[in-house]
Structures are given as C-alpha cells and as structure tokens.
Chain A
Amino acid sequence: MSLPIEINDMEPEFKALVLDRVPTANLDLCLTCGTCTAGCPASELFEMDPRKLVRMVVLGLDEEIAKTPWAWVCTMCTRCVNACPMKVDIPKLVYNMRAGWPREKRPKGILGSCDMHIRAGNAMGVPTEDFIWTVEDVAEEIQMTDPRFKDMQVSVDRPGAYYAINQNSREPVTEPDELAPLWKILHAVGADWTYPSVMWGGENYCLFLADDEGWRYILEEFVYHIDNTLKCPVVVNTE
C-alpha cells in the first residue's frame, strides 16, 4: 500500500548531522537521475543503492538507515560522486553512516585491524623488532647469494634518507620474499631510502572503520616521526 508523504512530519536528523559535518555534501541537490546507481557495483546489494540512500536520508528514514549494513559493502570508491551532475557526496555520507554504528558493533575484522594499528603501528600487529629482523634477514640473504646485489642498501629508520617508504604489513608477515623486488629496483636506480619504524603499516583500517580519533592518532604519530626523527623530505606510498 502506498502512503502520501507528510512533509511536515519529517525530521531528517541524520541529514542535518551529515550536512553539519560535511557542508559540501549537497544532499538536497539530488536530481534523482540515477547516474550514481547505474554505475555502482554495490547497487542492489541488501536491496539498496546510492540514489535510494540519498532519498532515504532526505526523507528522514533515519531508523532504516541505521539498520542496513549496506554502508559496509559500499567501498567509498567515489565513482558515484565523480559522475554525479550535482556532486552529491555519497561516500562521505556513507562514512558518516559507518560512524553512526556503535564502535564495538562495527565489523570485527576492520575493528581488530584498526585497534592493532593504533597499538602496534601496523594492522597485522607485527612487533617492530620482528619487522626489522625480517627486513635484515631477507636483505642479507640476497646480498650473500646474488653478487649483483652485494652492496644493496636496505634500512629501517635511517635518519636523513631522501625517501621514506611505506610498507603494507602483509609482506613481512606472510610473504617476506615479496619485499625484495622493490629493493632491487631501488638499488638499480641508486635511490636513497629507508623504512620508517613508527606506524609503518601502509594500510589504514581506522579510516575504513570511520574512527576519526584512531585515524588521526596514526597520522600524527607518523608525521611526527618522519618530520622530526627521520627528516625525510619525501614519503612514498607503496604499490
């Protein structure tokens, strides 16, 4: 059965909250053209899609919005806002939907990785000494066995290096041999580089968790280490 919409009864609180945090979200400008939905691979999952979400927000269906797990299958990839004629910022809306979940109810996998990153400096929870040990061990093996790389420089926390290179924590833990190809390339071009030891994990689960505080803490620690301890002029995002 269809019901008339009572405009006067609507209290779109969530919309007000999002617009307060993201004044450029343009939620009221949606033309319902459907461009976002047509190009979004998350459309139809959990019977949701980006256009529908914007309608729900504008109409104040806050309870339904709070209930759907769709915010965790939208990848915040920004393809929709890139194509949207009115630049409705759906990914930032989704970020705030995630932030609306009680922290402990957010998906365990992301929560665990974020907490680990805050505690250990990387999402896999590798102790820094182990990271350094693995790096040195793999490097030594190559220096000893391949004469072309006997002088290859590999270091952690070498102050004054030109490049500080981020490393996803997956390699040192599960596939240390995968670290080496990059080193060989850096050696071939004579790059002056080092790995930072503080918040060295290149991944960022606190962003995915919509944990502003955790995310901010990680960035601040990282920036402090690079600017003040290592003084590297360039930070390089890894592959």
Chain B
Amino acid sequence: MRKFKIDHKFEFTTLITLYAQWIREGKLKVNSDWNKDLKIKFTAQDPCNMVRKTWGQKMADDMRFVIRTIVGEENFIDMVPNGINNYCCGGGGGALQAGFTDQRRAYGKVKFNQIQETRATYVFAPCHNCHAQIEDIGHHFGGHYNVVHIWTIMCLAMGVLGENERTYLGDDLKDIGLNKEDQP
C-alpha cells in the first residue's frame, strides 16, 4: 500500500504482535508446563515478509517471546543467523509456484542445514510459504523435523487443541492433552 500510496484508515498489525501483547497483558493465559518433562526442542523461521521486510527485529523478538512462553525457555533453540539476518526459506517471492524446483531446493538447502544444526524436532513457520517450503526441503533432504504454526502449539499448551487439528504434529505430540488425565 505504501508502494501505490493507497490511503487507508485502518491500522495494520500481525497475529504475532497480538499474541505477544495479550500474553504480556495477562489476557492470554498460557505457559509451557506441558513441555516440562517432555523437553521437546523447537526452533523458528523468521518469515522475510514479516520480519526483515516489514516490522523488523521487534517482530522477531516478539515471536521469540511468544514461542519461549509456550514451549519453555530452555526448549527453544535459535537458528544461526536469526532475526533480521536470517536466511529466506527459499519458498518466498513466488518461488514455490515458479516451477524451478531444483533451484528452489538448492536454495532451501541453506535453511535445511540451519535447522539440522539446531537439532530441534519442531520448526515454527508462521507463514504459509515458509511452512510449505520447509516441509518440502525436510522431506527432500531427509530431515526428521515437523513444521508447525504457532496457533497449534499455543492451543496444545492451553489444553484446547482438538483431535483433528493435529495434522502437523509428530507422533510424540499426537495425544498430548487429549485425555482427561493429561489435562492441567
């Protein structure tokens, strides 16, 4: 909208900014108790569009604050480099639909290596392009990680994630919080 100088009255924000705000205000009551004993490790992709191209490091920091809250400080392992210096996943800018599959995957190898280095078994990808690309390079290069949205793990942590909302979870998390006795 800046590019075309289109005037608008509304303000623009992102879900991640709101999650962070709601957690700080105490409106969103969520913690990482579910992962205290499981100690499942997570890493996160910084979507270029949201982080480097639009809201900058503040968005990257908010995202980490939200993630650390829901998975536990010690269970979040950052990629190197990260934040505004993170690498693009390789699926952005239309690359997923452009048809140059070999090149897209060669590009994605950089991301794949970054993820493998963290040894995390779950990758947060709060952007649909990143999500699809990181899943694809995981399968292609033989990775053993799952790719998730923040909302999935958030609901898991809140004990409200439904049985059919678990497509992206690995077997280790498929049943967590479903049985009455597991619930906080």
Contacts and interface: CB of A to CB of B under 8 A. Distances in A.
Contacts of B106: 45
18 contacts: A41-B109, A41-B110, A42-B103, A72-B98, A73-B95, A78-B53, A79-B52, A79-B85, A82-B84, A107-B94, A181-B152, A208-B93, A226-B8, A235-B11, A236-B15, A237-B13, A237-B15, A239-B127
Contacts of B155: 181, 184-185
Listed from nearest, the 7 A-B pairs whose CB atoms lie closest are A208-B94, A109-B97, A77-B88, A75-B93, A75-B92, A239-B126, A181-B151
Given A178-B149, A178-B165, A223 B8 contact: yes
Contacts of B28: 185, 188-189
A138 B181 CA distance: 27
Contact of B50 (A76, A165, A223, A237): A237
A205 B97 contact: yes
Given A41-B88, A77-B48, A170 B27 contact: no
A46 B154 contact: no
B65 interface: no
Interface range on chain B: under 10, 10 to 19, 20 to 34, or 35 or more?
Answer: 35 or more
B16 interface: yes
A103 interface: no
Given A189-B22, A226-B8, A107 B97 contact: yes
Given A72-B99, A236-B13, 14 more contacts: A72-B98, A75-B93, A75-B95, A76-B92, A109-B94, A202-B128, A205-B94, A219-B6, A227-B8, A227-B9, A232-B10, A233-B11, A237-B15, A239-B149
A205 B48 CA distance: 16
B90 interface: yes
B60 interface: no
Nearest to B130: A239
A219 B6 CA distance: 8
A230 to B, nearest CB: 9
Given A74-B93, A146-B162, A237-B50, A108 B99 contact: yes
Chain A interface secondary structure, helix, strand, loop or mixed? Answer: helix
Contacts of B84: 82
Interface residues of A, number: 62
Contacts of B85: 79, 82-83
Nearest to B149: A239
B99 A185 contact: no
B95 A72 contact: yes
Interface string B102-132: 0110111111000000000000001110000
Contact of B14 (A73, A190, A233, A237): A237
B120 to A, nearest CB: 18
Given A164-B10, A216-B4, A233-B11, A239 B100 contact: no
Contacts of A170: 128
A191 B28 CA distance: 11
A239 to B, nearest CB: 4
Contacts of A237: 12-15, 50
B82 to A, nearest CB: 12
Given A78-B52, A209-B94, A237-B13, A177 B165 contact: yes
A142 interface: yes
Given A110-B94, A181-B155, A209-B94, A234 B11 contact: yes
A205 B164 CA distance: 30
A45 B160 CA distance: 45
Nearest to B111: A41
B161 interface: yes
Given A181-B154, A181-B165, A75 B6 contact: no
Contacts of A42: 103, 107
Contacts of A79: 48, 52, 85, 87-88
A82 B88 CA distance: 13
B97 to A, nearest CB: 3
